[in-house]
Amino acid sequence: MTRTIPVPREGEHHGNAAAVAPPHAVASWCAAQGWPVHPLSPGRKTPVGNCPDCSAAKGGGRHEAADCPCLSAGRPCHGFHAATTDQGLIDRWWGATPAAGVGVACAPAGLVVIDIDAHQVSVADRAHLLPGIVIPEQVRLDGLASGFDTLALLAAFRGEQDPARDESTLRVRTPSGGLHVWYRNPDPETRYRCSTGSGRNTALAWQVDVRAEGGYIVAPGTRTPQGVYRAEGSARQPAELPEWLRRELRRTGHVIEPSVTPVPGLPEQPGAGQRLTAVVPPARRSGRPAAAHQVIDPLIGVVAECAAAREGTGFTEKLNRAAYTAGGLVGAGHLEHAAIRDRLVRVANYARPWQQSRNEKIVDDALAVGSVRPLHLEGRP
């Protein structure tokens, strides 16, 4: 029988500290569900900082999570990469920093979380509210103001239940007025990527993010200066990701397609789950990945070096330049989109782990723009 903890509910008084379970108890409860956890900086929703050696980006600024000795030593560096269900580590981490919030690594936990935002920003153009869906002019959009509206619009368009009102699954109200709708991925063979809902690429809807592979979600009970993340309704477990949302995530490019190794002498064919509409490099020339890496590797190295300082490094400009160049190399057939996108996102999240959604938006936007301007490599070996 799964034990429960007093996770705060929406509507409980924010000043009632007794209604909020201690972070250590929340982390232990999450781990008992099989959800790997990692500490967040006290009072914030971002991971604790890396240790001095990792923050200094030793080794020419190319130090990545996979090579970090801190992880094997049980230190919580590199955000969700350190997430664990080991109760001993949890006791040690939250014993040292009792006020640390709790982050849950989504993919290892088998979670896909719909992150609905309610930011006070200008409403996007009608063409960008539901990516890939044309909203007829006769459909009035008066009063549309947030991700709650666009997600409800998408659900109505499909004739399905609005996830924001799905009482069968764990839902967590955020201090900013948004909502996290937690779902369980019923098919581990299908991997979903994170997205930024306010961007134009790989988005479910305007102001609707997806937290999955390569990301984390803030656990209920975590406190920030703006308030506490509070569970809404009575459900405390994620329900299975609805079939219609699985279709929408695939349609909007959230499924991470398996890479296919071409067989010499045979034409390339899409693997299981891959779409037949995948872009094929122009037949007039073959790709030149070795030459492409001579161009892109130094630019990615410059992005990694930004981990040496939290600001003043020109990070956005450097990441944008690297992703734009990579897009041009993809457009010319020299690089594979999924592989270079994954690499760019990983190095961006290494350099700026506290802004993962923004990192993905920069990468996706620059890749998209660069891909329509193919970068050819005449004269390179």
The pLDDT profile of the chain, 381 residues, written as one tens digit per residue, is 344 555 555 555 444 444 578 999 999 999 999 999 999 999 999 998 887 777 654 444 446 677 788 888 888 888 898 999 999 999 999 999 999 999 999 999 999 999 999 887 888 888 889 988 888 888 888 888 999 999 999 999 999 999 999 999 999 999 999 999 999 999 988 999 998 544 445 679 999 989 999 899 999 999 999 999 999 999 999 999 999 999 999 998 899 876 544 444 444 444 333 333 333 333 334 467 888 888 998 999 899 888 888 878 889 989 999 999 998 898 888 888 888 998 998 889 888 988 888 888 899 888 888 888 888 876 434
Any idea what the Cα angle at residue 197 is, between residues 193 and 200, rounded to 5°? 95
CB-based contacts of 138, cutoff 8 Å, min separation 6: none
d(CA 228, CA 136): 39
Classify the C-alpha dihedral 78-79-85-91 as positive or negative: positive
Report the Cα 241 to chain-centroid distance in Å.
Answer: 17
Nearest residue to 257 via CA among 346, 330, 193, 188: 193
How much of the chain is in helix, strand and coil states, percent to nearest 5? 35, 15, 50
d(CA 183, CA 171): 9
CB-based contacts of 212, cutoff 8 Å, min separation 6: 106, 107, 111, 112, 113, 185, 191, 192, 193, 194, 254
CB-based contacts of 324, cutoff 8 Å, min separation 6: 366, 367, 369, 370
This prediction's pTM: 0.66
CATH of 107-251, one of 3.90.1410, 3.20.20, 3.30.2250, 1.10.3470: 3.30.2250
Which residue intervals of the chain are DSSP H helices?
23-32, 52-55, 69-72, 87-96, 106-109, 147-158, 243-251, 289-305, 315-331, 337-351, 356-371
